[in-house]
Structure 1
Amino acid sequence: MKHIKLKLALAASAVSLALSHSSLMAQESSDDDSVERIAVTGSLIKRLDMEGPSPLTSIDAAQIENTGVTDLIGLFAKLPISGQGTFSTQGNSSDDTANGGSSVSLRGLGADSTLILINGRRVSVSPFAKGIDTAFVDINNIPISAIKRVDILKDGASATYGSDAIAGVINIVLKDDFEGAEVSARVGTTADGGGNEQNFSLIFGNNTEKFKHTFILDYFDREEVLYSDRSYSRTANQKSLHPNDEDASDFRSSSGIPGTIALRSDPTNRIIDEFGNDRCAPEDIDRAQNLCRYDYAPHMTMIPDAERFSFNYLGRYEISDSLRAYVDFNGQNSKSIVRGAGSPSFNELFMDGDNPNHPFADMPDHPFFMQDLTMRRRTVEIGNREKRVDTDYYRAVMGLSGEISSWNWDAAYSYIKSESVERGVDGFPNSRRAQEAIDSGLWNPFEPSTNTQEALDFIETVTTRVGKSTNKTLDFTLSGAIAEMSAGDLMLALKAEYREEAIADNPDDQFLRGDVFGTEATQANGSRDSQSLSAELAVPVLDTLEVQLAVRYEDYSDFGSTTDPKISFLYSPLDNLSLRGSYGTAFRAPSLHQLGLGRTDESPNLIDTIRCDAVGLSCDPIEYTAIFEGNPDLGPEESSSYNLGVIYEINENIDFSLDYYSYDIENIIDSDTQFVFSTFGNDPSVVQRLPTGIANDPGEVVQIFDSFQNIGDLETSGLDFDIAYRLATDLGDFKLGFVMNYVLKYEEFRPDGNGGQRLNLQEGEFEQPEVRHTTSLDWSKEDLSATLAINYIGEFDGDEDADVGHRTVDAMTTVDLVANYNGIENTTLSFGVTNLFNEEPPFSHHDFFGYVNTVHSGQGRFTYAKATYRF
């Protein structure tokens, strides 16, 4: 702490020096003092208006209401700037590692490269990472009712905010000046079943000369949607749903009930369990692959059951004319339930040749007589898997702000904590006890109908995973004029910040011993502290030209330091025409999950290219066990970006903006298990195999070892276009809007195995549509108003890894409609429909659910009604 205190002391000395040299000049240059400056996302210096050198989009509460969304991820998923890596609770299942969580990825650069702020300050990440390593801020912690506006900064901002602001910044500004009281109730339902919603909120507050108090209570409840609720995902056998499509696949699991029997010495020598009383159902028999399959899709969650209760309090107190105090308290309890089919095993369990339950004990002529066996089977008899996640989130900010002469200052301490408990309450077998039950004869895996409740209770377990994430920050900001120039004041801002972060994600001892199969869990523990100094100058070069210079130095306890500059300009040669541009560098520190991940089992679908090339076996993608661990030697991702744009107000009724952006990111932290598998498949320290005795056969894969590396680069560029047209008529006031993101280039590079790089992904390929746009029409007349929105996501190629890169995933267009009526005193009635025409997501061949749930929604038509009363 000594070096931290020294740097903060030096910063304070610099601030005092700046004050002493500039206070007189600042007092004289007060032409703008009568006009209140406002805080703008992306800058430490308060401005006279929202429009600045960096591209910024603001969406206020009324606009959010008119989109018809019920949570923040619903809003962000509709924004054209959102890309691959944006994820919601859609697709959560018993195999997910971030159940109940949602976050947004600007420009498809990743949720961990998009910085989420609340009232301009950082919040803690979820204790449970997405996909075992992606640290993200769970935006489900913020109810729609508490939001005043959302600012989206669409260029890199590490020079202002530090790590994670590679793609941009989303600042969620909460309501803090509400006067009176308001109660709202909303109910909604889907057209195809599941997903019914209820939402109730209460807002009340009062403003006096000295005090401002705003209280917000919000309750949200949504029932689950299962894949079986949708016709296109009701079965994992997509071939049966698309019999005339030669590329449609049967994704049913190779682990069935009662399953497939194989020799322990050679798991490729297998037969379908058609013996005894319990036999593989005829519809699940796969003679070509010699497997008993299982249709897991009907039992899996598409959208989980969710229940959230939150409270928000924002208080402001004016101590004197030049000193104010403020507090923000936010809290939420959220519960979610996710489901999956019965747990699968893939040759993890064994039966000795002399076991009393041996299926061929009475068949001496059978080749498997008295042979040690293994099996692929599901423990359906103990139930389908069910996980319950309970999360408590708390955020507290306490601060002071004021003025010294003409200088503004702000100091605050914030503490944010998120705690989650995930429990597997049904359908999870303990593999150690399952093996003991097989050995003792208590449990017969080949005759599930004969097993006693005692046997089932013995093998079933309850799993527990406990996570905690904290963020503690102390910051001080000072800004003001340091000189008077001919075009205005030269403004300076300085900021010092100290931050401590910690995460803990700990599954129970069963996971750590590897005793639970059929699920995925992470273990990660880590902490870090960082300190930073930032400076920003706003230079009025001319009456028509403003230049902003910013730089931030940040020092991390676990990987070193980084300095990131940014320069931007706003040039307004005409009253109705402005040109803007920015250039800067940014970085993303390796997440604590990536650094401190313990042994974690994953179940990716991979192709054993080594074995396929050697003996022609395992040429199709199937599930394997991959063992991941963190890498403490990771360095930060680094990027540079620039933006050039034009803002033109053609007349008082029509204006538009057009921005070109470009990002170049290096040292991306990632893993590529398929690359590791194919490149090092013969290395026993990387891929563990069982010998089969077949000539030239490298053997059956047991597990693959992998980790995270700084292995990637990415280059992307594109256009953002926004146009608005307003028209007042006798029929009402109209506003037509069009917002588009067009990706000109998206090239992701990964190692090629020969010391070079290969192009791994580019624009237009799988999950990378080149164009997204939204067209909206707002209308209002007297007590009526309505909004119509048309949302478009362009087509893209199929999944090359699933061998369907030659197929196209079609474009998707949805229509949303919202109508409001204010003709009753103090009351607003709203009726809305999202996806008005119940458009199904376009078919994709890559997975069992038949669509790309990372890009398209399976919710279908959602109809809702809302009433708001103010008093």
Structure 2
Amino acid sequence: MDNRFGIGRSRVQLPALLSVVLALAATGVFAESDEVLSLDIEPQEAGSALMELGRASGVQIMLAQGNGTEIRVEGLQGQYRFEEALASLLKGTGLAYEFASENTVVVRQAQESPDGPGGGDAEAEVEESEEEEEEEPVELEAQRVTGSRLKGGDPTANVISISAEDMARRGISTMEELFRQMPWTYASNTSQSSRYFSAQPVDVDREISTGDGMGIGVSFANLRALGSENSLVLVNGRRVSGRGGSEYNAVNLVNIPLAAIERVDIDLGSASAIYGSDAIGGVINFITKKRFAGLEVTLREEFSATDADRRVMSVRGGYAWDSGSVTADLSRDESEPVNNRKIWTSMDYRDLLGPEYDRRVATAQPGIVCQQRGGFFASYWLVLPRCASGAPSLQLPPGHSGAGATVDDFTEELAPFDYVPPQNGWVSQSLGVNVRAEQYLGENLIIHAEVLFSEHDAYVEERTFADDYIIGADNAYNPFGYDLAVTYAPFREVESGQFPTANDESVHTMQTVNLGAVWQFGGSHELDVSVTRSESEHESVAWRARYHRTEDEPTAVEFYRILSSPDPNAAFNPFGNGSAQNADFSSFLVPTFDFGGRTVSTTVELVLRGGLLEIWGGPINYVVGFEDRTRKIGRSWSWFADRGRDVLDYWADAYAVSEPKSGLRAEFMELGFPLFGEKNSRPGIRELYVSLQARRDTHTFNGPQGGIERIRGGFEPNAYRAWQPGVGWVDAWGPEYDTLEGTASILDIEKKDTTPRIGLLYKPMDSLSIRAAWTESFHPPLFSQQFSVEDIRMRDFNLLFQDYLHPDRGADEFVLVSLPLIDAPYDPEIRSEYADKFSLGIDWRPESIPGLRWTVDWSQTDFTDKIADASGFTGTHPELIAGNEKVIQRDENGYPISATRGLVNLASKVSEYVETSIQYSFDTSVGRFTPRLTYSEFLREYFRVAEGAEATDRLGTQHGSDRYRLTGQLTWQWQRLAADLFIHYTPGYTNDRPGSCNNVVGRCLTSFQQLPAFDATSLTTVDGSASYWFDNGLRVRAGGRNLFKRESPSPWSFSGILGYDPTRWDARSRVLYLELTWAMRD
């Protein structure tokens, strides 16, 4: 495999990193299992016992104020599930526990009824509890709770928490696979779709794959189909850098090592008041593993029905002492791409979809030839080969080798070539390292440091074409006697290894360093200070059999010699089927495009939290804080142009700054009011809690607004040098580059946004919780939307516009006018994009039916002021844009006088979602069973290009969410054996964007109209897994996804490039896996 970046270079680093992990593990041993825990907890105070259980299980256990310091527990020895261990520890202590999320437990004083058993004792316990509440709180560890910075979290927030064990039970081995399974995500940019998803609607995803021209090595989470740029990704509650060089801060999921993650928290509704911008779709918070002592090694092998196999190795080691700990996680995985030819074998879909659906290519083998264009500008066509005017396109019959061919052997009846691209996805290698250390300095101060590093190297083979080659008259296989323009697909030579394969390569790295300290003081107050620096880099390169060379390229002489050689043993033969090919093609594959990007962000955060005065239901909890963040983006690329390699420093050339720098200052606060609680609860109001949050963000930008004039280049006879067969290097006609004159005007812009949130938790009884919240979210304008070196200027041509508001339109709908056109490359007054978000949740756990739980969660996002390019609407929706004064300017009488082409806050999108789940856990003589059924539905998902426009319904379409999903799960656990079964059902949908017609046939009345829409079928898949812990610390887990190998619901996607839909179906098809985990213990 020929690669520039050296996929596999991380192998050198692996032994050194592995030795560090093993060294940490050598000082202590510990075994961890989320299923059955081997415990040896001695009798001691409740606080320290719970800390020990929390470390053993990986579950966060929080103690409410005043509980645990004077309470002793009996201890535990033996094998326990987590809840069994927790219940046993708390038995008879007067303490009770409650799950704040699936991986967070809050322990507090149990609430007794004055009229219940032991009424007098209960009253005494309440009095004792009140005295204890004045004491210093027990803090087990510095906690990170998604959706709030309050101690203990915000009970009004609806956070979906997925633990590492949950992901393992689902058979997940990458973060992409996790979000592919979730009903509230849309797989717009994944390893299987990112290279093809460049033509999606603007409302679906703007972090498009073509940011580097290739889309290799990237995968993003797109919550609620509102765009990956609107899905905020955090690590331990802190921002990390998005893909290197991208203005949108979308975090590349391939740089999040699964082995280092303890759980993933997702807040779909209301976290912008905590974390600031970019959370319109929601917040994803990756919580890393920590506080581990011992050694754990995991090996995993996955076998895909489409050859997309994966191998994973991870090692975790750590050491803990009385006042601190250090933990290190190291992981490495290798994966193979999807073998497309195990899914479909023909680009001719007519038997499936109709006569219009034929995607066989014109670039063929044997090649298609025509006489090269000549004339006065003949030298221009040397670097842009085209057929001479009126010259027919010709081809040899299928099966002809091209050797000994005559002109009479060629025919104008061209045979389309049926070629299925061999791969999707990429060959990849990933390395992930996470190291965390913390140290208590006395009883009230803890300092911590964490380093997260990841590198992802990807390589993918592309279609290999020899397009637009000029084959000289002297070529040994050319029977025409004149130069030919040739289009050829060397498929046979590529598969035999004779012709080098076109390919793309990329390297994505991310490294994040966090330093912080937490100081507890004054009994219930805490100061949290942290500094985070996150840097991501991205390099990619495309290798192609490019059709021409420049004079100074090392391969030029050999390349052109082969194209025109009279020697059949040396000449390129593009005329036949590849069987008579003798040339050496080592000079044909050259770099055509490369990209480099870098993003660096530095954040300083100060947070003060604690409890204030006591009110009816308990103390008021508060948070006040400050955040200062800077971000720098660098981007450059080079490509092979007609005159040679052009190198562009994107920002310096287009915006007069080498690395745009943006700043943020933010002040935020949270208040939690327990209006009713343990002390004053009454029938019908067991708990009532109100949460108020607010955040003020000030974004600062520095860049150019005009000052530069663009001077258009002309068409010159010596623009560059080109090779002419039989002659050699000659001066060639071509366009000159534009030049820029003047000095850019650099200035500062400041954007301020305030984000409020109101949340409510109401418990009419202990078994029923009701949550409600409202908030606003926003996304500030990008640097490139606010700045440009070029001035706003009048163009030298007019715009024809259908004016639906023209005063003289009379009975007609519109008047056609010609308007002077103003080009506005920037808009200093462009507003942020905003969203109103509402959520409501119900959680019922009836006491009369232990083990039963029913939840309902509803949310709605109204996304407005979306930034769009007005030039796209003046022609497609003139009736909607006519009244927009930023686009169409009018005089005092309403007559249009000019039009402006630029950005405008215009579009909107609505997303309404509901999910309900019911589960029931019960014990039998053969273990515990938990069946669960989850139904999710998008009630609304539509897009408007402008106010008053007809809504475009995205639901159940190619670029929209599924109308609903149904998931059934059955979990069985018996002693050390656990098993899970999942059934996923998604309904059919409409492919309303199948692409354009190629020919006039059937329902295609013109060559470029939209292909007819068609309906895709529903999809039902079954996943399963089972695991067992042995006495020696070995756990075996085995399972599979899509066990019955269900096929894609659609045989066509991305205009027929793929014979399946990777946004709704995992092209790895059936995946079987075996995972071995070995943990050392005393």
Indicate the TM-score class for this superposition, using the shorter chain for normalisation: 0.7 to 0.9
Identify if the C-alpha distance between structure 1 residues 38 and 509 changes in structure 2 by more than 3 Å, giving closer, same or farther.
closer
Structure with higher Rg: it is 2
2:420 pairs with one of 297, 301, 304: 297
TM-score computed with the length of structure 2 as normaliser? 0.64
Change (3 A) 1:591 1:574: same
CA apart distance, 1:188: 1.6
- Measured after TM superposition, the shift of residue 35 of structure 1 is 7.3
Deviation at residue 275 of structure 1 after TM alignment: 6.1
Structure-to-structure mapping, 1:737-752, within 5 angstroms: 737-750=932-945
Q: Which amino acid aligns with 1:749?
A: R
Alignment of 1:198-213 (within 5 A): 198-213=311-326
Q: Residue 211 and residue 64 in structure 1: after superposition, are their counterparts in 2 closer, same or farther (change >3 A)? A: same
Q: 2:775 aligns with which of 584, 587, 604?
A: 584
Does 1:409 find its partner at 2:527? yes
Distance 1:57 1:562 in 2: 27
1:649 counterpart (836, 845, 850): 845
Count of aligned pairs between the two proteins: 760
The equivalent position to 1:124 in structure 2, one of 241, 246, 250, is: 241
| 2:667 aligned with 1:533 | yes
Is residue 657–residue 722 contact of structure 1 (8 Å, CA) maintained in 2? yes
**Partners of 1:767 and 1:796 within 8 A in 2:** no
Equivalent residue in structure 1 for 2:445, among 323, 342, 347: 323
1:495 paired to 2:625:
yes
**Helix, strand or coil: the match of 1:457?**
coil
Residue 794 of structure 1 aligns with an amino acid whose one-letter code is P
Q: For 1:141-172, what per-residue CA distance to the aligned partner results, in whole angstroms no more than 9, with x for missing partners?
A: 22222111111112032111011111111111
Could you tell me which residue of structure 1 aligns to residue 1019 of structure 2?
812
In terms of mean alpha carbon deviation, does 454-463 or 100-109 score higher?
Answer: 454-463
Name the SS of the counterpart of 2:563 in structure 1.
coil
Quote the residue 2:1035 is aligned against. 828
Distance 1:675 1:351 in 2: 41
Q: 2:974 aligns with which of 739, 759, 781?
A: 781
Q: Please list the CA deviations of residues 548-589 of structure 1 after superposition, one character each: whole Å capped at 9, or x if unmatched.
A: 111111111136121111111111111111111111110123
- One-letter amino acid matched to 1:395: T
Letter of the structure 2 residue corresponding to residue 306 of structure 1: S
1:218-297 equivalent positions in 2, closer than 5 A: 218-231=331-344, 234-239=345-350, 243=351, 245-246=353-354, 249-256=357-364, 258-259=367-368, 261=370, 271-274=392-395, 293-297=416-420
Question: Cα offset for 1:832?
Answer: 0.9
Assess if the C-alpha contact under 8 Å between 2:500 and 2:589 holds in 1. Answer: no
Give the Cα–Cα distance (whole angstroms) in 1 for the partners of residues 342 and 548 of structure 2.
Answer: 31
CA-to-aligned-CA distance 1:167-226 (integer Å, 9 cap, x gap): 11111111111121111111121124x212211111111222111111111111112223
Give the counterpart of 1:862 among 1060, 1068, 1071. Answer: 1071
**Paired residue secondary structure (1:555):** strand
Counterpart Cα distance in 1 of 2:421 and 2:1062:
16
Q: Give the superposition deviation at 1:852.
A: 1.7
Aligned residue for 1:616? none
Contact 1:747–1:759 (Cα < 8 Å) also in 2 = yes
Identify the match of residue 151 of structure 2 among 32, 40, 46: 46
* Aligned-residue offset at 1:81: 1.8
Query: Does the 8 Å CA contact 1:798/1:844 hold for their aligned counterparts?
Result: no
Counterpart-to-counterpart distance in 2, 1:819 and 1:596: 56
1:536-547 pair list within 5 angstroms: 536-543=670-677, 544-547=687-690
More moved, 766-775 vs 567-576: 766-775
Larger RCO: Structure 1 or Structure 2 (Cα < 8 Å, ≥ 6 residues apart)? 1
Local SS of the residue matching 1:297: coil
Which deviations, in whole Å up to 9, do the C-alpha atoms of 1:64-118 show, x marking residues without a partner? 1111111111111111222253534555479763311212111121111111111
Residues 787-827 of structure 1 deviation map (CA, whole Å, 9 limit, x = unaligned): 11112222211124534564211121111110111134211
**Pairing partner for 1:667 from 849, 859, 865:** 865
CA distance, structure 2, for counterparts of residue 772 and residue 58 of structure 1: 19
TM-score, length basis structure 1: 0.78
Looking at structure 1, the residues matched to 164 and 1017 of structure 2 have their Cα atoms a distance apart, in angstroms, of: 33
Amino acid at match of 2:225: G
Give the partner amino acid of 1:858. Answer: A
1:446 and 1:262 map into 2 onto residues whose CA distance is: 17
Q: What is the aligned partner in structure 1 of residue 270 from structure 2?
A: 156
| Change in 2 beyond 3 A, CA 1:845/1:801 | closer
TM-superposed CA distance for 1:54, in Å, is 2.0
Secondary structure of the 1:160 match is helix
Asked if 1:722 corresponds to 2:898, the answer is: no
Root-mean-square deviation over aligned CA pairs: 4.2
Map of 1:382-397 to 2, 5 A cutoff? Answer: 383-397=500-514
> What is the SS of the residue equivalent to 2:264?
strand
The 5 A counterparts of 1:73-472 are 73-85=176-188, 87-89=190-192, 92=195, 97-127=214-244, 135-192=249-306, 194-231=307-344, 234-239=345-350, 243=351, 245-246=353-354, 249-256=357-364, 258-259=367-368, 261=370, 271-274=392-395, 293-299=416-422, 301-343=423-465, 345=467, 362=480, 383-405=500-522, 406-425=524-543, 427-428=545-546, 443=563, 447-448=573-574, 457=587, 460-461=590-591, 463-472=593-602
SS at match of 2:169: helix
Q: Distance in 2 between matches of 1:672 and 1:810?
A: 37
Residue 294 of structure 1, CA deviation: 4.7
Q: Secondary structure of 1:186's partner?
A: strand
Match of residue 837 from structure 1: 1044
Deviations 1:285-334 (A, max 9, x none): xx9998664545333x3121111122110111101211110011111222
Deviations 1:240-278 (A, max 9, x none): xxx254166122334445236488599795633326987
1:562 partner letter: D
3-state DSSP of counterpart to 1:539: strand
Q: Give 1:549's match in structure 2, choosing from 670, 680, 692.
A: 692
1:7 corresponds in structure 2 to none
Distance 2:877 2:339 in 1: 38
Residues 1:657 and 1:245: Cα distance change in structure 2 (over 3 Å)? same
1:480 to 610, 617, 625: 610
Give 1:455 shift.
Answer: 8.3
Q: Which stretch shows the higher mean deviation, 589-598 or 503-512?
A: 589-598
Cα distance in 2 for residues equivalent to 1:848 and 1:458: 25
**Contact 2:988/2:1049 (8 A) holds in 1:** no
Q: 1:632 to 1:807 in 2, by over 3 A?
A: same
* Partners of 2:1079 and 2:520 in 1: CA distance: 36
Q: Which amino acid aligns with 1:548?
A: S
Shift of 1:341: 0.3
Deviation at 1:487, TM superposition (A): 1.1
CA distance in 1, matches of 2:1012, 2:990: 6
Aligned partner of 1:816: which letter? D
Q: 1:478 to 1:191 in 2, by over 3 A?
A: same
Structure 2 segments unaligned to the other structure (5+ residues): 1-129, 197-208, 376-385, 404-409, 494-498, 565-570, 647-652, 678-686, 702-749, 791-823, 879-900, 996-1009
